[in-house]
Structure 1
Amino acid sequence: MCEIRGLLSHRRYAAGENVFREGDTCKQLMVFRSVQLKLTTMSLGGREQILGLLVAGQLVGFETSDAVYPYTATALTPVEVCCITHNEMQRVLEENPSVALNIIRRFCDELIRARIMIRNLGIKPAHARVASLILSLVPIGADYNDPFPLVFSRLEVAELLGLSEETVSRIFAEFRRNGLIDAHRGEVLLLDVGTVRKIAGVGAGPKSNSEGVKAATACMMG
């Protein structure tokens, strides 16, 4: 399965650089390492609209196979990307059913993430939306006790969650005051994971964000 390693190319992007733009042809599968990216599109009025975010360990590329990207991905932190072309990955999947199953599981995870975001915007109260966002920023495979970057501005968080900037700032301050998180210098540390998960409406949960980290992705990320 780890023959994938020999087919990979590696690229680096600086913070603020576009990894790809809306309308670019999608020809490869990408796995991001130690990164946060924002996904954006342009509104009819010419205003940038944030659609979501990507964290380390997530896959991009198969959902737009042989098509174009429906959004722009911009690095918020320095990015290292592992890439493999669709044709090469298709051959690997045909020859290795176990890899194909792992990829399917990963995209099921991505579908769940998308549905959770839709639910958050539709029915969750403000505190639950912010708590859910904080949990979603933990890199895949990371321990919840490790600090992780938060490079979104309060305004960007507000736009992503459908809240006002004042509400987002107030909730972050409340979480810090109540000892749930520590946030400074662009990093967040979860101090009370259980309570944050309870506020987010996802239960007590595990001690790490390792669900869905499969052998295929581990192999690709080296």
Structure 2
Amino acid sequence: MQVRTAIHLNRAPAMAAGAQIVLRKGEQLFDEGDEAEFFYQVVSGAIRSYKLMSDGRRQIDAFHLRGDIFGLEAGGEHRFSAEAVGDVSVVAYRRSRLEALIQDDPAFRDKVMTATLRNLARAQAHMLLLGRKTAEEKIATFLLDMAERISKDDEHFDLPMQRCDIADHLGLTIETVSRILSRFARSGLIRLLPASRSIGLCNRMALQGLNA
């Protein structure tokens, strides 16, 4: 999959410090074990990073949304795979140029530092969520986090991912995710539009109570 990334880079127009890559839904950006030659920033759309278990199950580690920086590794290989949730545009930066980039551009240095700390905080929160929270608490936490990351008013937003993605991120079945979302809607906590990924938060306080 690293070869495909290189092909995109060769065809993409050069940008100020990186190269733009356009991916279609389901297209892979890199695979687990690929050389971590580049790191990335999302321009539009969403990327999911994940691992496939030996029995074929998928665990989604994180969703990377507009502005997020990801793919910086401590070692020389990517520890997760990454693919487009829908149509996506990212900018790829050569890892070998990281030191020069942060020296030449203090604003970019601050972005990388903020992104690194934020990714660490989200990874810690995700570990707690998987290990200690009930299904209802997991979904309440997820909805509040997505509202904060996606929506300007935090009350209404369109999820970029499908329910199967949510299930694989939260360690639940798709049936459990659908059942709890419907229960939240019946209880007046959220508003769901039929055949839509649109979510309205109707009772934020109650959701925050589940998130505590």
TM-score normalized by the length of structure 1: 0.75
Matched, 1:108 2:121: no
Q: Which amino acid aligns with 2:135?
A: A
Indicate the SS of the match to 1:163.
coil
Distance across 1 between alignment mates of 2:53 and 2:139 = 24
Change (3 A) 1:38 1:141: closer
Distance across 1 between alignment mates of 2:111 and 2:24 = 30
1:200 match: 211
Matched, 1:6 2:13: no
Structure 2 unmatched runs, 5+: 1-14
Q: Which amino acid aligns with 1:19?
A: L
Matched, 1:72 2:81: yes
Q: Which amino acid aligns with 1:76?
A: V
Q: Which amino acid aligns with 1:193?
A: R
Matched, 1:124 2:133: yes
Match 1:43 to one of 45, 48, 53 = 53
Q: Which amino acid aligns with 1:21?
A: D
Distance across 1 between alignment mates of 2:105 and 2:150 = 23
Matched, 1:59 2:66: no
Match 1:145 to one of 143, 155, 163 = 155
TM-score normalized by the length of structure 2: 0.79
Deviations 1:98-128 (A, max 9, x none): 5434422221111111111111111112211
Contact 1:50-1:156 within 8 A present in 2 as well: no
Change (3 A) 1:72 1:37: same
2:103 match: 94
Indicate the SS of the match to 2:83.
strand
CA RMSD of aligned residues (A): 2.4
Structure showing greater relative contact order (alpha-carbon pairs closer than 8 Å, 6 or more residues apart):
1
Deviations 1:167-202 (A, max 9, x none): 32221011112232223312323333343233222x
Contact 1:25-1:66 within 8 A present in 2 as well: no
Distance across 2 between alignment mates of 1:61 and 1:140 = 19
Distance across 2 between alignment mates of 1:51 and 1:28 = 21
Count of residues paired in the alignment: 194
Deviations 1:73-108 (A, max 9, x none): 121211011222123332021244554344222211
Q: Which amino acid aligns with 2:122?
A: R
Match 1:159 to one of 168, 172, 179 = 168
Q: Which amino acid aligns with 2:207?
A: V
Distance across 2 between alignment mates of 1:85 and 1:188 = 37
Match 1:189 to one of 171, 196, 200 = 200
Contact 1:34-1:56 within 8 A present in 2 as well: yes
Contact 2:102-2:108 within 8 A present in 1 as well: yes
Query: Percent identity, aligned pairs only?
Result: 20
Q: Which amino acid aligns with 1:33?
A: V
Contact 1:57-1:141 within 8 A present in 2 as well: no
1:176 match: 185
Distance across 2 between alignment mates of 1:34 and 1:194 = 30
Distance across 1 between alignment mates of 2:29 and 2:88 = 9
Contact 2:190-2:201 within 8 A present in 1 as well: yes
Indicate the SS of the match to 2:62.
strand
2:28 match: 18
Distance across 2 between alignment mates of 1:123 and 1:66 = 30
